[in-house]
Amino acid sequence: DIQMTQSPSSLSASVGDRVTITCRASQGISPFLNWYQHKPGVAPRLLIFGASSLPSGVPSRFTGSGSGTDFTLTISSLQPEDFATYYCQQSYSSPRTFGQGTRLEIK
Residues at the contact surface with another protein, assessed by CB under 8 A? 1, 32, 34, 36, 41-46, 49-50, 53, 55, 87, 89, 91, 94-101
Q: How far is the CB of 40 from another protein (least distance, A)?
A: 9
CA distance 39 to 56: 19
Q: Which is nearer to another protein, 16 or 40 (CB)?
A: 40
Q: How far is the CB of 79 from another protein (least distance, A)?
A: 21
State the Rg of the chain over Cα: 13
- What φ, ψ does residue 18 adopt, rounded to 5°? -100, 130
